[in-house]
Amino acid sequence: MNLLKIENIQYSYGKNTPFEKEVLKNISLEVNANDFIGVIGHTGSGKSTLIKICNGLLKPDKGQIFYKGENIWKKGFDLKHLRFKVGVSFQYPEHQLFCETVKKDIAYGLVNKGVPEEEQESKIRQVLKIVGLQESYLEKSPFKLSGGEMRKVALAGTMVLEPEVLILDEPTAGLDPKTTKQVYESLKEYQAKTSSSIIVVSHSMEDISEYATRLIALDDGNILLRGTPAQVFSNTERLNDMSLDVPITTSILSMLAQKNPSVNTNIYRYNDTKAEIIRLLKDVKSIE
Amino acid sequence: MRSIIQTEKLGFHYPRQERLIFENLNISIKEGEMVGILGSNGSGKSTLLKHFNALIRPKKGAVLIDEKWNTKDPETWLDIRQLVGLVFQNPENQIVSTIVEEDIAFALENLGLPREEIKKRVNEVLKIVNMYEYRKRPPYQLSGGQKQRIGIASILAMRPKGIIFDEATSMLDPKGRKDILKIIHELNQKYGVTVLMTTHLLDEVASVDRIIVLNKGRIRFDDKPEIVFENREELEAMGLSIPTVTKLALDLKAEGYLTDSKKLILTKEEFVQAIQKDIGVRA
Ligand SMILES: Nc1ncnc2c1ncn2[C@@H]1O[C@H](COP(=O)(O)OP(=O)(O)O)[C@@H](O)[C@H]1O
Ligand SMILES: Nc1ncnc2c1ncn2[C@@H]1O[C@H](COP(=O)(O)OP(=O)(O)O)[C@@H](O)[C@H]1O
Ligand SMILES: [Mg+2]
Ligand SMILES: [Mg+2]
């Protein structure tokens, strides 16, 4: 059964004001255990709004959302409980952090969730490792950190709750390459352990193609493309029209294919790209 | 050549920190250069860059702007901030007015420039960043990349000699990023603006003149990209990386391909050329 199901969602900001704006037009999406869904789309396409719909922070104007088959906007549904199960790390970490120390910030959700104090400690230490922050940070103020460090703290605060659906809005924007890799690897590890589903919004076609099993591409409140990365990234022109792009690996293969028609351009991961180029170079030898 | 930014034994720590974030930094940025600054999260890039338009002042050593202004002297701050502009990561935080052209005029009005001159400059800079058609729009209708272009235009209107881009592309979609990078290169090449930029996307700094790498409070590298990126293992150990094409070329070399290409490959075009050459050799 799917964990989360979204059906024909429509949402406008500024309802019944002159500024009313329809931001999600007709969105449907099913999220299953072990999914790793990448969400791509131009700025303003509605990605962050969709995320807020997913954990019940915004109520859609039309359409329905089910968590394990239960309509989350039905009377009596425990929305607070939902927010522990569908965890979101928001786009701007500085908006998510508000305690006087890093430790209190990460512990905040645990306290709310009623996790006993002795368990909190070990969970926090574990999650620090995952995001790559030293324990010396625990007593620092989150507001005196660099942008990348703040993001790590915000991520830790979401992951520590061990949600079944983990949603991350541009989690690695501003993170250095090593930490970016660390975050994605830890997501994969977390998923392998828990069979949770993961949804990541990202502008990095490279990262998303390396890790996602399915992609959706939003454009002005509609999902215009969806499928496996191979399917989505086979639409270079449409992606460009949507202010998006293919990963650099795919674009290198396309350039090679102009002179070498045998090159498969429907490849996007780094290792597969390398293998395809080696195949091309070996083929030349064998033809001879 | 005239150095627009110069640091002498620069050292800094925030209040109540015992250890210096960096120390003994000697950096010289020449007029017209395009320089990338790399470093892992928390390595001190933003702190360093804020020294360059006097938002932060040294705890040790000195920062000299345009060979004449010491940032320790508060009387120089206004001049320095006109000479060196700073563009941040989040475009939302740089826009104040409700109409695009007013936003750009705003800073100029504060300078007390005549109305005609303001109008002329506003139109000029909006054209440079390709946003002239949007001059009557409210900023909230713009995409992230467009907002970032307005932020750049506001700075350009001050006619700065240098602009610092602190992760200015990291929140943008692929098109927004491409547009901003194109403008950055154009400003440098066509208008001679000195450019300093930080980014975590190594592909963006493959074609700068010089890369400075900050690590553990020191300058570890200060050299051309093709020399800095030779140090793949060391860069990776400090949390950084090298451009994707460079990595791909090196990995292929390690497996016995591309043996003919001696120079480090930094662009897709160079990469494809090297592959075609390898194919030629093999055939
Ligand atoms: N609180 C809000 N009030 C009014 N409009 C908003 C609000 N939040 C977002 N918007 C608008 O809704 C659209 C979609 O925004 P968002 O979901 O943040 O897009 P994305 O995350 O894809 O960049 C944008 O045009 C944005 O300006
Ligand atoms: N306002 C501040 N007060 C105290 N410490 C700070 C402040 N801003 C940044 N820091 C610390 O200074 C170091 C350098 O930060 P920063 O210059 O933002 O790094 P970068 O831009 O390279 O990520 C980090 O360890 C960070 O925690
Ligand atoms: Mg968003
Ligand atoms: Mg920074």
- pLDDT(A6) > 90: yes
Residue A244: predicted pLDDT: 97
Please tell me the distance from the alpha carbon of residue B248 to that of residue A249, in angstroms, as a whole number.
9
Residue type, A211: Y
Query: How many domains is chain B partitioned into structurally?
Result: 2
Q: How far is CA B125 from CA A178, B111, B119, B162, B197, in A?
A: 37, 17, 10, 15, 20
B176 shares its domain with B277:
no
Answer whether residue B216 is part of any domain: yes
Chain A partners within 8 Å of B203 (Cβ): 248
Task: Give the structural domain span for B128.
Answer: 32-50+77-227
Q: Which of A148, A203, A281 lies closest to B41 in CB terms?
A: A148
Average pLDDT over residues A129-152: 87
Mutation for testing the B interface, residue in A170, A172, A176, A269 having most B CBs under 10 Å: A176
Strand order in the sheet with A197-201: A86-89, A165-169, A197-201, A36-41, A214-219, A222-227
- pLDDT(A1) > 80: no
Answer whether residue B21 is part of any domain: no
B110 shares its domain with B172:
yes
B114 shares its domain with B222:
yes
B162 shares its domain with B210:
yes
ipTM: 0.90
Residue A287: predicted pLDDT: 56
What is the residue-averaged pLDDT of chain A? 92
- pLDDT(A96) > 90: no
Answer whether residue B14 is part of any domain: no
Burial of B116 (0-12, 13-18, 19+ CB in 10 A): exposed
B118 shares its domain with B88:
yes
Answer whether residue B182 is part of any domain: yes
Q: Where in chain A is the domain with CATH 3.40.50.300?
A: 4-237
Task: Look up tokens 């603006």; give the residue.
Answer: B193
- pLDDT higher for A69 or A150? A69
Residue of B nearest to A182 (CA): B239
Query: Which pTM was predicted?
Result: 0.92
B172 shares its domain with B44:
yes
Residue B142: predicted pLDDT: 85
User: Which DSSP letter does residue B16 get?
Assistant: T
Q: Can you list the residues of chain B whose pLDDT is less than 70? A: 94
Task: Look up tokens 């030349």; give the residue.
Answer: A284
Chain B partners within 8 Å of A205 (Cβ): 174
Residue B98: predicted pLDDT: 85
- Which band of pLDDT confidence, cut at 50, 70 and 90, is reported for residue A227? very high
B131 shares its domain with B217:
yes
- pLDDT(A286) > 70: no
Which atom of ligand 1 approaches the CA of A52 most closely? 17
B221 shares its domain with B261:
no
Average pLDDT over residues A35-43: 96
CA distance A1 to chain B (A): 34
Please choose from B43, B49, B200, B216 the residue to mutate so as to test ligand 2's pocket, defined by most ligand atoms within 8 A of CB.
B43
B276 shares its domain with B146:
no
Q: How many CB pairs under 8 A join A and B?
A: 132
Least confident of A136-145, A278-287, B79-88, B182-191: A278-287
CA distance A248 to chain B (A): 8
Residue A285: predicted pLDDT: 60
| Residue A138: HSE in the Cβ half-sphere, 13 Å Cα cutoff | 14
Please tell me the distance from the alpha carbon of residue A115 to that of residue A118, in angstroms, as a whole number.
8
Please tell me the distance from the alpha carbon of residue A47 to that of residue B141, in angstroms, as a whole number.
16
CA distance A106 to chain B (A): 19
Residue B175: predicted pLDDT: 93
Residue B275: predicted pLDDT: 95
A200 within 8 A of A187, measured Cβ to Cβ:
yes
B186 shares its domain with B252:
no
Answer whether residue B55 is part of any domain: no
Residue A98: predicted pLDDT: 83
Answer whether residue B232 is part of any domain: no
Answer whether residue B139 is part of any domain: yes
- pLDDT higher for A284 or B204? B204
B186 shares its domain with B214:
yes
Residue type, B127: K
Answer whether residue B204 is part of any domain: yes
Domain with residue B134: its CATH number is 3.40.50.300
Q: Which of A180, A245, A284 lies closest to B279 in CB terms?
A: A284
As given in the structure block, the two tokens for residue A204 are: 């990095």
According to DSSP H, which parts of chain A are helical? 47-54, 79-85, 93-96, 102-113, 117-131, 147-159, 177-194, 205-211, 229-232, 236-241, 248-259, 270-287
Please tell me the distance from the alpha carbon of residue B92 to that of residue B86, in angstroms, as a whole number.
14
CA of A187 to the centre of ligand 2 (A): 26
CATH homologous superfamily for A4-237?
P-loop containing nucleotide triphosphate hydrolases (3.40.50.300)
Give the pairing type, strands B84-87 and B162-166. Answer: parallel
B214 shares its domain with B274:
no
